[in-house]
Amino acid sequence: MTDLHVADATIASTKPATKPARPHFSSGPCAKPPGWSADKLDTLVLGRSHRSKLGKARLQRAIDLTREVLQVPDTHRIAIVPASDTGAIEMAMWSMLGQRPVTVMAWESFGEGWVTDAVKQLKIDPQVMTAPYGEIVDLTRVPHDHDVVFTWNGTTSGVRVPNGEWISDDREGLTFNDATSAVFAMDMPWDKLDVTTFSWQKVMGGEGGHGVLILGPRAVERLESYTPAWPMPKIFRMTKGGKLIEGLFKGETINTPSMLAVEDYIFALEWAQSIGGLNALIGRSTANATALDRIVQARDWLGYLAVDPATRSNTSVCLTVEGADEALIKKMAACLEAEHAAYDIAGYRDAPAGLRIWCGATVDTADVEALGPWLDWAYATSRTS
């Protein structure tokens, strides 16, 4: 890898000879799995009812593969639900919060959204713990007798919880884990997670619009013993007559899913199995983040928004750029997109001005390595244009 600094303007202003083969570094929807093409999807289910024998079987296949790849224990139920990760986490919050005190934690924009839900929509007067972009809250201060809502990996800040050790084994409340940019790329301690949600458009590179909801036994107990004080929209309802609707966890979705998106997800899960499952997925994400770190360390104009390596994401890696404002970042992103060298790498609109490079498992490490010289070129070009 080139040990290039932008101080050498002559070299930096020259377009590199090699481009990433797949310049897809968006943080969602993310790069498709290597080798993906639409003609590889099983399309026999298209045009069929999702309630047909075939439709239900394919939905169940997606659920079963999710369990196998993520190593979810049999004690936990898995459902495919509407409206991506947002639908899944709000479905859980609206169905189960309000029975006991609640703590909601936020260190980026999506966590702040769950704070808004709890404070302004559900009006349950939660304890709110927040940290600025790039930092994380003091996890040792989380009350063990509260329900706790948190984002495992902050997609828009590049900050993640380091592990699950801060979650008490004898906790009284439930844990609500928004894991959408973490699951499939980081270990999940399932015994400590009562509710976990994600969308397959992130680490697995699936198509958007669907969420996955994973419930542990304590969450099921809450659903069957507690009725919230507020009206419950149809797409949030998981019980009937005080009992869990078991069909939800057997492929009987609440509303009509895109069977094409389901087939796309199944393809990604089968690809994951073919390369070695969860350990291989985590390994690919870690290798990509390590390759990007070598690029950052070789350039004095690049840095991390998440300063502490212990809480730095290995998927949505957020970078600071020396002297950059929003205009410069837009120029860099536009230059790279025009050259088909990198797509969609500008930081999130509410985050500090910077770059965001997706390093999830569907990205190839060689493409991350090829990105470095192009970042040099884009930085030099954008500063002088």
Query: Quick one: 305 and 249 in the same domain?
Result: no
- 3-state class of 363 per DSSP? coil
* pLDDT score recorded for residue 2: 41
CATH of the domain at 368: 3.90.1150.10
Residues ≥6 apart with Cβ < 8 Å to 349: none
- 245, with CB counted inside 10 A (0-12, 13-18, 19+), is middle
**Average pLDDT value over all residues in the chain:** 96
Q: What pLDDT score was predicted for residue 187?
A: 97
Mean of the pLDDT values across residues 122-148?
98
As a whole number, mean pLDDT of residues 242-248 equals: 97
Q: Residues 45, 186: one domain?
A: yes
* Residues 60, 63, 65, 70, Cα dihedral to 10°: -170
Distance separating alpha carbons of residues 174 and 169, to the nearest angstrom: 11
Res. 6: pLDDT tops 60: no
Residue 310 DSSP one-character state: G
Q: What is the pLDDT of residues 340-364, one digit of tens each?
A: 999 999 999 999 999 999 999 999 9
- Residues 6 or more apart whose CB falls under 8 angstroms from that of 244 comprise 77, 220, 223, 224, 238
| Residues of the chain above pLDDT 90, percent | 96
Same domain, 84 and 173: yes
For residues 226 and 111, state if they share a domain.
yes
Q: DSSP letter string over 230-264?
A: S---GGG--EETTEE-GGGGGT--SS---HHHHHH
323 found inside a domain: yes
Cβ atoms of 338 and 381 within 8 Å: the answer is no
Do residues 266 and 287 share a domain? no
CA angle 328, 331, 334 (to 5 degrees): 150
Q: Does 29 sit behind a cis peptide bond, omega within 30 degrees of 0 on the bond before it?
A: yes
Average pLDDT of span 149-162: 98
Tokens of 111: 């966590």
Residues 267 and 209 in one domain: yes
The residue from 273, 295, 314 where one domain ends is 273
Query: Counting Cβ atoms within 10 Å, is residue 17 exposed (0-12), middle (13-18) or buried (19+)?
Result: exposed
Q: Is residue 2 part of a domain?
A: no
Mean pLDDT confidence for 365-384: 97
Q: Report whether pLDDT(1) > 60.
A: no
What is the DSSP secondary structure assignment for residue 303, as one 8-state letter? E
Report, as an integer, the average pLDDT of 12-26.
Answer: 94
Question: Taking the CB of residue 306, how many other CB atoms lie within 10 A of it?
Answer: 25
Instruction: Count, in order, helices (H) and strands (E) of the chain.
Output: 9, 14
Would you say residue 3 lies in a domain? no
Please check whether residue 214 lies inside any domain of the structure. yes
Query: Which pLDDT score, from 0 to 100, does residue 13 have?
Result: 74
pLDDT in tens, 63-86: 999 999 999 999 999 999 999 999
Distance from C-alpha of 297 to C-alpha of 300, rounded to nearest angstrom: 7
Last residue of a domain, one of 242, 273, 304: 273
Closest CA to 264 of 358, 331, 179, 200: 200
Residues 268 and 281 grouped into a single domain: no
Q: What is the mean pLDDT of residues 310-320?
A: 98
Indicate the pLDDT class of residue 7, thresholds 50, 70 and 90. very low
Q: Is residue 252 part of a domain?
A: yes
| Residues 289 and 217 placed together within one structural domain of the fold | no
**How many structural domains is the chain composed of?**
2
| Displacement of CA 92 from its chain's centroid (Å) | 17
Q: What is the mean pLDDT of residues 1-24?
A: 71
What mean pLDDT comes out for the span 87-91?
98
Considering the domain architecture, whether residues 260 and 114 belong to the same structural domain is answered as yes
CATH of the domain at 100: 3.40.640.10
Give the integer Cα–Cα distance in Å for 147 and 41. 41
At 12, is the pLDDT very low, low, confident or very high (cuts 50, 70, 90)? confident
To the nearest whole percent, how much of the chain has pLDDT over 70? 97
Q: What is the pLDDT of residues 169-221, one digit of tens each?
A: 999 999 999 999 999 999 999 999 999 999 999 999 999 999 999 999 999 99
- Give the number of other CB atoms < 10 A from CB of residue 59: 23
Assess if residue 78 is contained within a domain: yes
| Average pLDDT of the residues in 130-136 | 98
3 confidence band (pLDDT: 50, 70, 90): very low
Task: Please check whether residue 107 lies inside any domain of the structure.
Answer: yes
End-of-domain residue from the set 273, 290, 322: 273
pLDDT confidence bin for 116, thresholds 50/70/90: very high
Cα 87 versus chain centre, distance: 14
**What is this structure's pTM?**
0.96
pLDDT at residue 384 greater than cutoff 90: no
Q: What is the average per-residue pLDDT within 6-28?
A: 82
Instruction: Report which of residues 9 and 65 the model is more confident about.
Output: 65
Cβ(203)–Cβ(360) under 8 Å?
A: yes
Give the containing element (helix H, strand E) for 77. Answer: strand 77-82
Q: Is residue 378 part of a domain?
A: yes
Smallest CA-to-CA distance from 117 within 171, 176, 199, 201 is with: 176
Q: Give pLDDT, residue 11.
A: 52
Where helices occur in the chain by DSSP H, the ranges are 9-12, 53-70, 84-96, 109-116, 217-225, 259-275, 278-297, 326-338, 365-384
Q: Do 310 and 198 share a structural domain?
A: no
Give the residue among 188, 163, 176, 170 at the shortest CA–CA distance from 106. 176
Examine the domain organization and report whether 53 and 75 are in the same domain: yes
Domain range for 228 is 38-273
The Cα–Cα gap between 373 and 3 comes to 9
Q: Are residues 80 and 192 in the same domain?
A: yes
* Per-residue pLDDT reduced to its tens digit, 260-280: 999 999 999 999 999 999 999
Phi/psi of residue 150, each to 5°? -150, 165
Mean pLDDT of 224-239: 96
Give the C-alpha separation, 350 to 157, whole Å: 10
Q: What pLDDT is recorded for position 242?
A: 96
